[in-house]
Amino acid sequence: MESMYFENGTLFVLDQTKLPNEIEYFTPKSKEDYYYAIKSLQVRGAPAIGIFAGYAMALLNEDKQELKKYLDSARPTAVNLSYATERVLKAYNEGKNPLDEARAIHLEDIEMCRKISEYGLSLLKDGDGILTHCNAGELATSKYGTGLGPLLLGKERGYTFHVYSDETRPLLQGARLTSFELEKAGVDVTLICDNMASLVMKQGKINAVLVGTDRIAANGDIANKIGTSGVAILAKHYGIPFYVLGPYSTIDYKCKTGDDIVIEERQADEIKNMWYEKPMALPETKCYNPAFDVTDHELITAIITDRGILRPPYNVSLESIKDND
């Protein structure tokens, strides 16, 4: 299912806040619509928000420099957002058609996800048990996805995988999106609460962990949905490979380590109220709601990009695929 598509000059975007109960596409009109869609996670996942913001830059008749600043501020952790707005801004400033650049970002993403999926699939065996965290599938990208890419491609090739999908508190992307997406694709998926990951690993049900990423630092530390680092620690404890999958555009060479990555903090309502009929804590109860965490490079078995499978030491392997510019 496509996270968005562009047809006859109009962008259609799947409202992911309505999944899995309603499948509804909408067309953003104003810069506020675009900002709200990113902020509220109607469109989410690092590559998808980049593609979406690229279209915003191209389609809106606004001061492009100001628009870029405005859109980038909607979600600070995923580097793909500012990468895409920068590319469209540059094309515009050079007198090129910004829509061509936005289209190119979209189409390149399909190609990159396909390559990532191929590389990722080469690391898996038919019958493997896989743990996922958050959603890094088609909904988070354009097609195939990153973290889920090998599973969707494997399904096309006749592989059978047994996927355990962490529900991913507090916004439940694993329950609402990953389980939904894999069910629709006919991949065997079992939903678990985040705090069950250790047990399924101990029970020998997991052969590999696959996750996406929002930003990769130059030393191989990565940011991904909150809880990812805990899963990586568990995987290390149980001797299970922990694979991070993301396109080249997710590497931020300006971030030397994960300490340089800005972590988005979101409102308490998402923990206490959002999914419940009644509040789950007192109004005065304080909540801390960081949306992402940083996983130390030492916990990562391989980083799978569209430019190949990178192994430690990551400062060397990441440098080896860097563009000279």
* Residues engaged in binding ligand MRU (CB under 6 A): 41, 44-47, 78, 134, 136, 140-141, 145-146, 173, 211-214, 224-225, 291
Strand ranges (DSSP E) for the chain?
Answer: 4-7, 10-14, 25-26, 129-132, 162-166, 188-192, 208-211, 215-217, 222-225, 242-245, 251-252, 292-295, 302-305, 308-310
User: Minimum distance between the CB of residue 178 and ligand MRU, rounded to whole angstroms?
Assistant: 9
**Which residue, 19 or 60, has its beta carbon nearer to ligand MRU?**
19
CB 219 within 8 A of CB 84: no
User: Minimum distance between the CB of residue 301 and ligand MRU, rounded to whole angstroms?
Assistant: 17
Distances (CA, A) of 324 to 220, 251, 253, 319, 320: 19, 14, 12, 10, 10
**Which residue, 91 or 130, has its beta carbon nearer to ligand MRU?**
130
Q: Which positions are catalytic?
A: 214
**Which residue, 64 or 266, has its beta carbon nearer to ligand MRU?**
266
Sheet of 25-26: strand order equals: 4-7, 10-14, 25-26
User: Minimum distance between the CB of residue 223 and ligand MRU, rounded to whole angstroms?
Assistant: 8
**Which residue, 98 or 247, has its beta carbon nearer to ligand MRU?**
247
User: Minimum distance between the CB of residue 243 and ligand MRU, rounded to whole angstroms?
Assistant: 13
CB 169 within 8 A of CB 129: no
